Amino acid sequence: MAKFGFEKARYFNGTLLLSVVIIAVSTFNYGFDNQAFATTQSMDYFAKQFGERNAKTGVYELPSDWLALFNSLNYIGFAAGVIIGSQISSMFGRRWCMFGMSCYALVTATIAVTSKSREQIMAARILNYIYVGIELAVVPTFQSEIVPAPVRGFVVGSYQMSLMAGGLVINAVCYGTGFIESNRSWQIPLGLFYIVPTIIAAAIFFVPESPRWLLRKNRTDEARKMLQRLRQGAFTEEQIDAEFAELRNALENEPEQGKFIELFKGKNLIRTAIVVGVNFFQQATGQAFSSQYGAVYVKTLGIINPRLFSLITSGIGVTICFISLYTTDKMGRRVQLMASALIMAGALFTMGGLGVQSPVPTANMRGIISMIAVFAIGFATGWGPLTYVVTTEVSSLRLRDLNSRVGFTVNVVFNWAVNFSIPYLVWPDKAGLGSKVGFIFGSIAILALIFTYTCIPECKGKTLEQVDWLFNNDVPLRKFGQTEVPANLETAHTYSKGIEREGDVEQGRNSQVSKGDSL
């Protein structure tokens, strides 16, 4: 594989590759749920089953008030799932958490497929999002803890790529079933919800448990065996021993005690703020307008088949996301996040400008549809996949589960807020902004650009333990990428403590920072 330019392959043995694939496949079901409900909403028979007949037009429509609830109340389940998932994952391990959530998902899939009323389909989506929340709590953390540093961005970012790939598959299915003139048009896509949980429940125990989690549970021998399984063949015994020693040493020298209040004290406050910030901006920049309401909104324009539009944007998103993941461990997180914010802002402001004229000309409508697609490209370039990378790599070792819980809860809350607000902002019978909503989200995208430049550290190529060292030694955030971390972290910990005793932290820190400016 390396001969074809995919040099990342040398960091994987068979066990790690299988583990990464199995964990990533789990996220397909999030993509299934996300896009299945978004696309089936535009189907006539879905509207006939769950909507109301318009007395004037004779067409069945989904009421905007119900649509707002349908696309927002599910985040109650999402938030509950994040909290439940982080607790289960922390207490019982990453594998048992994934097994349990997969068994649960089979139940919620049955409720969805057999839905006959608005109340049942609403309950099905809320309950299924508990599963999605558990998945968000465990998958990026699990991925970040088992892979080598040089490929962490690629692997953890695959959470978003798997989500988008699942969306691509379900949109292709929906495009085909949309021509069926019965309830099977929407029931068949929802039936795919059974596939992924069945695979994960059957395969997850072929994946080694996280060595870092085992070490935190004082199961040292098991941790060493699991690391051996994940590295043997791709790394020498000396390299494996050195990595394991680094894991143990970093855990022993980590000052925090793993309590919730520690998230908001000292250096951890900075880390928590970064985690909260990236999760806020991922949702507040308006990705829901494209992913959740794109098909329904495009249907109102009457320019293109909404299912075809969803299929096209999904295909573009998966392609761009894969390219982004391949380049992030080379280019770094900061460059791609800033480029992502610029593309999104440009698309959103253009979309808003095209909708100013009333009535909106047909040519402008085509431009608006194009800008929604460009926004999807921008989102897949950085803020889609890299939010999960930044969240998992800036958290301290003992507080990773807690930090992820806080960050992903913020993600869910603003995901809900945006999803709930869009119908009231966009639809003609409410605020009637239409595509002019792009001015709101575009302004937030500019703030995301500023936040990236000033607050997000560059952690590409560094182990989680080295990132810990950089935070604990007060290295400026914009200097992380240029700072050389001592090879022997045990010596580094002793060294930094000696500097503090001499009251010369600043001088010691500056001696570690190489010259030159970062982005």
What ranges do the domains of the chain cover?
A: 14-207+260-455
- Say if residues 415 and 372 touch (Cβ distance below 8 Å): no
Helix H or strand E encompassing 168: helix 152-177
- The confidence score (pLDDT) of residue 488 equals 63
Distance CA(220)–CA(218), nearest Å, equals 5
DSSP, collapsed to helix, strand or coil, labels residue 475 as: coil
Q: Strand, helix or coil at 233?
A: coil
- CB atoms closer than 10 angstroms to residue 444: 19
> Residue 356 and residue 359: Cα distance in Å, rounded?
9
Question: Which pLDDT value is given to residue 494?
Answer: 39
> Buried b vs exposed e over 343-380: b needs ≥16 C-beta within 10 Å?
bbbbbbbbbbbbbeeeebeeebbebbbebbbbbbbbbb
- Our measurement of the distance from residue 208's CA atom to the centroid of its chain's CA atoms, rounded to an integer in Å, reads 23
Contacts of 319 (CB under 8 A, 6+ apart): none
Each residue's pLDDT, cut to its tens digit, for the chain (519 residues) gives 444 345 678 889 999 999 999 999 998 888 888 888 878 888 889 999 998 888 788 888 888 788 878 888 888 898 899 899 989 999 999 999 999 999 999 999 999 999 999 999 999 999 999 999 999 899 988 998 999 988 888 888 888 888 888 988 998 999 899 889 999 999 999 999 999 999 999 999 999 999 999 998 999 999 999 999 999 999 999 999 999 998 888 777 655 456 788 888 888 899 999 999 999 999 999 998 888 778 778 888 888 888 888 888 888 888 999 898 888 888 999 999 999 999 999 999 999 999 998 888 999 999 999 999 999 999 999 999 999 999 989 988 778 878 888 998 899 899 889 988 888 898 887 788 989 999 999 999 999 999 999 999 999 988 888 898 899 888 999 889 888 887 665 544 433 343 333 334 344 444 444 433 334
**Is cis: bond before 359, omega within 30 of 0?**
yes
Q: What is the pLDDT of residue 374?
A: 95
Sign of CA dihedral 486, 491, 493, 499: negative
Predicted local confidence at residue 37, as pLDDT: 85
Query: What Rg value do the Cα atoms of the chain yield, rounded?
Result: 23
In Å, how far are 265, 270, 402, 403, 416 from 260, measured between CA atoms? 10, 15, 7, 9, 24
Structure tokens at 31: 């993509």
**pLDDT given for residue 56 in this prediction:** 80
460 in Cβ contact with 337 (< 8 Å): no
476 burial level (CB within 10 Å; 0-12, 13-18, 19+): middle
Closest CA to 456 of 345, 335, 287: 335
Q: 225-236 as b/e, with b when 16 or more CB fall inside 10 Å?
A: ebbbbbbeebbe
Superfamily of domain 14-207+260-455: MFS general substrate transporter like domains (1.20.1250.20)
Burial 142-169 (b: 16+ CB within 10 A, else e): bbbbbbbbbbbbbbbbbbbbbbbbbbbb
Task: Say which residue the tokens 């119908």 belong to.
Answer: 423
Q: Look-up: residue for tokens 């996949």?
A: 385
Q: Cβ distance 39 to 258 under 8 Å? A: no
The burial of 55, by beta-carbon neighbours within 10 Å (0-12 exposed, 13-18 middle, 19 or more buried), is given as exposed
Which of 196, 224, 194, 199 shows the shortest CA–CA distance to 211? Answer: 224
**Cβ(11)–Cβ(151) below 8 Å:** yes
Count of CA atoms in the C-beta half-sphere (13 A) of 229 = 16
Q: What is the dihedral of CA 437, 443, 449, 454, to 10 degrees?
A: -140
Q: How far apart are the first and last CA of the chain?
A: 32
State phi, psi for 483 to the nearest 5 degrees.
-85, 130
- What integer pLDDT is reported at residue 342 of this predicted model? 98
State CA 180 to chain mean position distance.
33
